[in-house]
Amino acid sequence: MAVSKDKFGRKIDYLRISITDRCNLRCRYCMPEEGVEYKSHTEILSYEEIIEIVKAGIDFGITRIRITGGEPLVRIGVDELVGMLNQLPGIEEITMTTNGILLPRYAQKLKKADLDRVNISLDTLDRDKFNEITRRDEFNQVISGMKMALEMNLNPVKINTVLMKGINDDEIMDFVELTREFPFHVRFIEYMPLGDKKEAEERYISLTSVQEMIMDKGELIPVNIKGNGPAEYFRLPDGKGTIGFITPISHKFCSLCNRLRLTADGKLKPCLGSDLELDLYAENGELLDAGGLKSQFKEALALKPGRHGFFEEGQETFKREMFQIGG
């Protein structure tokens, strides 16, 4: 198996694949209530095209895949894609990030297709607040999805929680207590300014202070959890799950970055916090051939920046928001 490193010596073995920009929620910090203009079916990668791209990536050391959206489960046949990816020699792990709403319907199919595990995005444990944040009354479905993920052994089941000042920072200990009772792995994530920079500055909370606050209330024991990310994990002495901290802003972990991103419309992004992206389509509108795809992977490794541009002076906005890149 090939091992590829970028110019900073970082081993790149992880590809996050967005399969759709569509979502069944309308989160206030992500998109307007009326939604956005989605890509048409002909503008997004087919599953067959995704497979060809991943084959090229394998030659550059890609061994782990995460399927994202938008919300990936709104796209028909995602379990079939998981099965197709599992047939590729060299792919060692396939995971998914989802909002959990459709997991009660698809978890069994995903497990049968050999999906390894899921991350579920959930920013509040309060139903009314969930409705306010997402503009949808789907809280009970998400909770059912979390339970179904445990039943199907899509473990470790991680809960992604973006902390936002004045919105859910009063629920920090509620999420901590969730890990005492259930084997969920809650990951607190710092707010990243991919949309409105002013809004991000107002909502941003450094997780350094959050971790200190939790530790002041009791012991946190360091642990290791299986995964591709840079989270630091801890558990309560009597906890069934763990508490993780993902700090892309307060403690840039760019030196540990091991990933590339593939957008639903066929762009290869070397860095989340950069507008740089490489087109995988030729001028005639066809996907590049195998040689062309490999050339773009090689270029992505060469162009991958040393650090992201979040909150950098002169970087006021980004061309894409999170739902257009893949969470």
Provide long-range contacts, Cβ within 8 A and 24+ apart, for 147-152. 148/103, 148/104, 148/107, 149/100, 149/103, 149/107, 149/118, 149/120, 150/182, 150/183, 150/184, 151/107, 152/107, 152/108, 152/110, 152/111
pLDDT digits (tens, 9 = 90+) for 133-174: 999 999 999 999 999 999 999 999 999 999 999 999 999 999
Closest by Cα among 305, 325, 308 to 12:
305
Lowest mean per-residue pLDDT among 2-11, 114-123, 265-274, 308-317: 308-317
pTM given for the model: 0.90
The confidence band for 179, taking pLDDT boundaries of 50, 70 and 90, is: very high
pLDDT at 319: 65
pLDDT at 254: 75
pLDDT at 230: 72
pLDDT digits (tens, 9 = 90+) for 203-259: 888 888 999 999 988 889 999 887 766 788 999 999 999 999 988 776 666 767 889
Break the chain into its structural domains and give their ranges.
14-325
Alpha helices in the chain (DSSP H): 47-58, 78-86, 103-112, 127-134, 139-151, 172-181, 197-203, 207-217, 290-303, 322-325
Q: For 14-325, CATH number?
A: 3.20.20.70
